Amino acid sequence: MANISIIGSGNMGQAIAAVATRGNHDVQVLQHSDNDVAVTGDIVVLAVPHTAVEEILALRGDSLAGKVVVDITNPVDFTTMDSLVVAADSSKAAEIAAALPDAKVVKAFNTNFASTLAEGTVGPLDTTVLIAGDDDDAKSALTEVLTSGGLKAIDAGALKRARELEAIGFLQISLAAREKLAWTEGFGVIH
């Protein structure tokens, strides 16, 4: 059984907490503003907008050493919804990993909408979470949480693959923002 802390109690945070709870894992959900509450999880999910990450790392960075830190963000320019705000050869996950050299950073959940996580399906398909990271044990720990909670998981490779995951997430978000895809739908994986 894993011990998971989720920073962020919005739709994504709640959906991830529900998946972990279904798998009988211990879940701590913190508001972004709960800076005085200690993070207790061995797996820490940053379920906040990318614009909040820098502040969280400044306040909690030392306490995240040795933990699996899951970046779910999509670094989209929220004013235009028409571009990513990270360098083309980088990712938000890479920036987080550079800021947390003693943590095991993985990218996950950013290609899923909250409703598909909560429902466990994308149309007729089971919801699949793509995971990128450089630490195989960290990816395995997160995979166990997901599969025990009824989802599928695919190891998408090294953390450098987060760039492609963020591009997929951005495409899905931009389609939903333009009402070409519902926020309750999304991309599925057949495997």
Of all residues in the chain, the percent with pLDDT exceeding 70 is 100
Host domain of residue 20: 3-177
Q: Does some domain include residue 188?
A: no
Q: Which residues contact 133 (CB under 8 A, 6 or more apart)?
A: 104, 105, 106, 107, 139, 158, 159
Distance CA 72, CA 13 (A): 10
Q: Does some domain include residue 187?
A: no
Average pLDDT over the chain, rounded to whole?
95
According to the model, what pLDDT value does residue 30 have? 96
Q: Does some domain include residue 39?
A: yes
Whichever domain contains 103, its CATH number is: 3.40.50.720
Say if residues 29 and 13 touch (Cβ distance below 8 Å): yes
Q: How many structural domains are present in the chain?
A: 1
Q: Does some domain include residue 33?
A: yes
According to the model, what pLDDT value does residue 40 have? 96
Q: Does some domain include residue 55?
A: yes
Q: Does some domain include residue 190?
A: no
Global confidence as pTM: 0.96
Q: Does some domain include residue 45?
A: yes
Q: Does some domain include residue 189?
A: no
